[in-house]
Structure 1
Amino acid sequence: MTRNLMITLSAGGSAALLAGAYLFQALGYPPCAMCLWQRWPHIAAILIGVVAFRLPGQIMLPALGAIAAATTAGIGVFHTGVERGFWEGPSSCTGGGSLDGLSGADLLAVTGPRVVMCDQVSWELFTLSMPSWNALLSFGLMIGWILAARLSAGSTTAGSSRTV
């Protein structure tokens, strides 16, 4: 395995997960706020991958890619816990906010896009929701970035052509 291959797989994996998120959105599964939060680190990882190709031998860029993958995985774990009721999520997207002062007519008059609550599972496969899958796959991407960083470190030593 080479550094560039690991960067391609890791940044490409983030691109695939991001494309999957947008595909689900196009199929009628609008994202909640925490779903959107999980997308930003993937965007960062893709950009880091592009820059890492332009600056070979840099150990810091794959390390940043690993941090981006770990960040989206962490948000995915947190989101999964909110969905499963292990802990409370932000009141802005879990229905914990107050409706004081609103009448039934006020609530019926609300128009606009469908509101998706962060504590509701909108889709799952093998009992794992989208945030759960994002977390699992992103932890794998994090390992890929770490391998790329190790390979970068090996290539910066005196004449070393270290492979894993």
Structure 2
Amino acid sequence: MTDTLAIVRADPPRAAAAALLVIALATIAGFFFFQYVLGYPPCPLCLEQRIPYYFSAPLAALLWLGAGYGAARKVLMLGFLAIAAAMLWDAGLAAYHAGVEWKFWAGPTDCSGPINAIGSTGDLMKSLQSIRVVRCDEAAWRLFGISLPGYNVLVSLVMVAVAAWGAKAVYARADEK
């Protein structure tokens, strides 16, 4: 524990980038676990919420490397702010999705409305057998009353805070010079 605190104090931007990378990779592993191991297929909104993690994980790895090898302050600052913006957007999208699950507002018609595009009557049975609609307005899993999008709000906001801390550390480092 003491070694971890020493690393955080010695190089806060690098520690922030490492924390962002670990959180993003753990979240990616988590949603793949729910999808492929537990068998909860994602809805369209769930798939859209994954995009910021796919963006943030490699960017955090690059920030970690850049902070360790003396990348330009502006590059590091922009990287942390980009992750913060992406995860803030994701927190909003996840909150919207959680609200759709709680029926606070209507969701997108492609995953929470009626199924209208079945096709011609001749192909009706074939169409019905092949339809696999994962609804956005039904929570597939909950823990303590919070669904996966609800937890995604929390994880996204933690990542926003860590990215803001990394950006602040980069900014403070420039003031020291």
Residue 77 of structure 2 corresponds to residue 66 of structure 1: no
Whether 1:150 aligns to 2:154 is no
Alpha-carbon separation, structure 1, partners of 2:118 and 2:58: 44
Q: Amino acid of the residue matched to residue 29 of structure 2?
A: A
The residue type equivalent to 1:33 in the other structure is P
Contact 1:10 1:142 in 2 (8 A): no
- 1:82 correspondence with 2:92: no
Q: Report whether the alignment pairs 1:13 with 2:23.
A: yes
Q: Does residue 148 of structure 2 align to residue 130 of structure 1?
A: yes
Structure 1: which amino acid aligns with 2:14? N
Call closer, same or farther: CA 1:113–1:11 in 2, change over 3 Å. Answer: farther
**Per residue, is there more helix in 1 or in 2?**
2
Per mean C-alpha deviation after superposition, the further-off stretch among 86-95 and 55-64 is 55-64
Deviations 1:58-89 (A, max 9, x none): 21111111112112111110100111111111
Distance 1:103 1:113 in 2: 15
Which whole-Å deviations, capped at 9, do the CAs of 1:95-144 have from their partners, x for residues lacking one?
33425766597156434473211111100000000000011111011100
Percent of paired sites with the same residue:
29
Where do residues 50-61 of structure 1 align in structure 2 (5 Å cutoff)? Answer: 50-56=61-67, 57=73, 58-61=76-79
Give distance in 2, aligned partners of 1:61 and 1:116: 34
Partner of residue 24 from structure 1, selected from 31, 34, 48: 34
- TM-score of the pair, normalised by structure 2: 0.81
Please give the alpha-carbon distance, in whole angstroms, between the structure 2 residues aligned to 1:102 and 1:78. 34
Which of 46, 50, 53 pairs up with 1:39? 50
User: Residue 140 of structure 2: SS of its match in structure 1?
Assistant: coil
Give, in whole Å, the separation in 1 of the partners of 2:25 and 2:34: 14
Q: Which runs of no fewer than 5 residues in structure 1 stay unpaired?
A: 160-164
How far apart are the structure 2 equivalents of 1:64 and 1:12? 17
SS of 2:24's equivalent in the other structure is: helix
Partner Cα separation in structure 1 for residue 91 and residue 138 of structure 2:
19
**8 Å Cα contact 1:62/1:149 also seen in 2:** yes
Relative to the length of structure 1, the TM-score reads 0.87
List gaps (5 residues or longer) in structure 2: 1-7, 68-72
Query: How many residues align structurally?
Result: 159
